[in-house]
Structure 1
Amino acid sequence: MIKVLIADDQELIRQSLQIVLNSKADIEVCDVAADGQDVIRSIRKEKPDVILMDIRMPKMDGVQCTKIIKENYPQIKIIILTTFDDDEYVYNALKFGASGYLLKGVSMDELENAIKTVYSGRAMINPDIATKVFKLFSQMAQADYSITVGNKAAEELTKTEWKIIVQVGKGASNKEIAEILGLSDGTVRNYLSTILNKLDLRDRTQLAIWAVQTNAAGKLAELEE
C-alpha cells in the first residue's frame, strides 16, 4: 500500500483527490494539508511514501517545502502538482529533489501512474513540459548547480550505458529510450539502476544534469569513432 499525503490550499481539490485516490487498490491517502507547515507536521506523524505537492500555498510554498523535506526525509517522493507551468518552479522543484512534475489537468489514471512510478524510484514528468525540462537541465548545468562524478566511475561506463545517459540528458522517458535503442523497458530500468550506482548519483534528475554538464553525446561519439 502506497501512503500518499495531499498538499493543496484549495479544499475542493484536496477532497476530490482524496476520494479518487482512496478508491485505488494500492493507494491510501494518509492525510491532507493546506500549506507547507501542515505538510511538515503531518510527515512526522504519518510518514507518507509520496506527497502530491501544490506549488503556491500560504505560509510555505511547495518548492521551499520540497527542499526541507528532501533534506530531512530523502526517502519521501514528491510530485509537484500545479496549474502553473512556470520555468522557475520547474527549475527549483527538480533542483531540490522532486521526483515528478505534473500539471493539474492530468487524468486520474495518469496521476495514479505517476504515484506508482515515483514510488518505484523512477522520475515522472508531464510530457507537455518535457522539452522545457531539458532546457532547464541545460541552465542548471551551466549555473551553480553542479554534479560531481569521479573520473574512474565515468571510465567504467559501457557504450550502451553512455547511449542511455545521452537520452536521459535529452529528457527521454524509459519507454522512449527502449524504442530508440531497441531494448525492453525492464532492461532500460536495470541499466539506469546500474548507471546510478556506478556514478553514485541520487536519481534520474542528477544523471540528466550530469549528462548535460559532461557533454555525454560528445563522449559517446568518441567511443564510436
Structure 2
Amino acid sequence: MIKVLIADDQELIRQSLKIVLSANKDIEIVGTACNGNEVVESVRKYKPDVILMDVRMPEMDGVQCTKVIKESYPNIKIIVLTTFDDDEYIFNALKYGASGYLLKGVSMDELVRAIHTVVNGGAMINPDITAKVFKLFSQMAQGDISIQAGTKKNTDDICDAEWNIIKCVGFGLSNKEIAKKLRLSEGTVRNYLSNILNKLNFRDRTQLAIWAVQTGVIRKMVTQK
C-alpha cells in the first residue's frame, strides 16, 4: 500500500483528489494539508511515501516545503502538482529533490502512474514542460547555469560499477531500468546508489544527476566508450 499525503490550499482540490485516488486499492490517502506548515506536521505524524505538493500555499510554499521535507526525510517522494509551469518553480522544485512535476490538467490515470513511478525510483514530468527541463539541462551541460550541488568532488573512491550507476542516473533511468540495463537486482542498485550518495555527499539522486550533467561527467563517460 502506497501512503499518499495531499497538500493543496484549495479544499475542493484536496477532497477531489482524495476521493478519486482512494478508489485505487494500492493507494491510501493518509492525510491532507492546506499549507506548508501543515505538510511538515502531517509528515511527522503519517510518514507518507509520496506527497502531492501544490506550489502556491500560504505560510510556506510548495517549493520551500519540498526543500524542508527532503532535508529531513530524503526517502519521501514528492510530486509537484500545480497550475504553474514557470521556469523558476520547475528549476527549484527539481533542485530541492522533487521526483515529479505535473500540471493539474493531468488525467487521474497519469497521476496514479506517476505515483507508482516515483515510488519505484523513477521521475515523472508533465509532457507540456519536458522541453523546459531538457533546455535547463542543456544549459547546465554548457555551463550556462550552475546548481549548487557541489561541483568539486573527490571521486577517487568511485569504482567502475558505481560509475555505470552514475551514468544511468544522469540519463534519468529509474532503479528498475538501471537494474535491467546492468543486469543487477534492484536491491543491488539501491545499495550502489546509497554508497555513491554517501561518497559524494549528495542528498539524493536528483543532485547526483545534476552534478553528472553539470560537470560533464556524462559526456566524458560516453566519449570514452
2:5 is matched with 5
TM-score w.r.t. structure 1 length? Answer: 0.80
* In 1, Cα distance between equivalents of 2:6 and 2:182: 30
* In 1, Cα distance between equivalents of 2:61 and 2:115: 21
2:146 is matched with 143
Check conservation: 1:123, 1:204, Cα contact below 8 A: no
* In 1, Cα distance between equivalents of 2:154 and 2:47: 34
Over the aligned positions, Cα root-mean-square deviation in angstroms equals 3.1
Number of positions where the alignment pairs a residue of Structure 1 with one of Structure 2? 215
- Cα gap change, 1:75 to 1:195, in 2 (>3 Å): closer
- Cα gap change, 1:88 to 1:194, in 2 (>3 Å): same
TM-score w.r.t. structure 2 length? Answer: 0.80
- Cα gap change, 1:161 to 1:186, in 2 (>3 Å): closer
Cα offset, 1:158, TM superposition: 7.8
* In 2, Cα distance between equivalents of 1:90 and 1:30: 26
Cα offset, 1:121, TM superposition: 2.5
Query: What SS does the aligned partner of 2:122 have?
Result: coil
For 1:149-188, what aligned pairs fall within 5 Å after superposition? 149-154=153-158, 156-157=160-161, 164=168, 167-168=171-172, 184=180, 187=183
* In 2, Cα distance between equivalents of 1:65 and 1:162: 27
1:199 is matched with 196
Query: What SS does the aligned partner of 2:5 have?
Result: strand
Whether 2:36 is the aligned partner of 1:36: answer yes
For residues 126-185 of structure 1, give each alpha carbon's deviation from its aligned partner in whole angstroms, at most 9, with x where no partner exists. 2322231233344497425134543224562588657635633xxxx55xx89xxxx957
- Cα gap change, 1:188 to 1:57, in 2 (>3 Å): farther
For 1:67-216, what aligned pairs fall within 5 Å after superposition? 67-137=67-137, 138-139=139-140, 142-147=145-150, 148-154=152-158, 156-157=160-161, 164=168, 167-168=171-172, 184=180, 187=183, 190=186, 193=190, 196-197=193-194, 199-200=196-197, 201-216=202-217
Query: Once the two structures are aligned, what percentage of the paired residues are identical?
Result: 56
Cα offset, 1:220, TM superposition: 2.7
* In 1, Cα distance between equivalents of 2:75 and 2:190: 16
1:219 is matched with 220
Query: What SS does the aligned partner of 2:48 have?
Result: coil
1:17 is matched with 17
For residues 14-48 of structure 1, give each alpha carbon's deviation from its aligned partner in whole angstroms, at most 9, with x where no partner exists. 11100011000100111111111221222222221
Check conservation: 2:169, 2:205, Cα contact below 8 A: no
- Cα gap change, 1:107 to 1:214, in 2 (>3 Å): same
Check conservation: 2:30, 2:48, Cα contact below 8 A: yes
- Cα gap change, 1:216 to 1:189, in 2 (>3 Å): farther
Give structure 2 stretches of 5+ with no counterpart. none
Cα offset, 1:63, TM superposition: 0.7
Check conservation: 2:14, 2:32, Cα contact below 8 A: yes
* In 1, Cα distance between equivalents of 2:89 and 2:50: 19
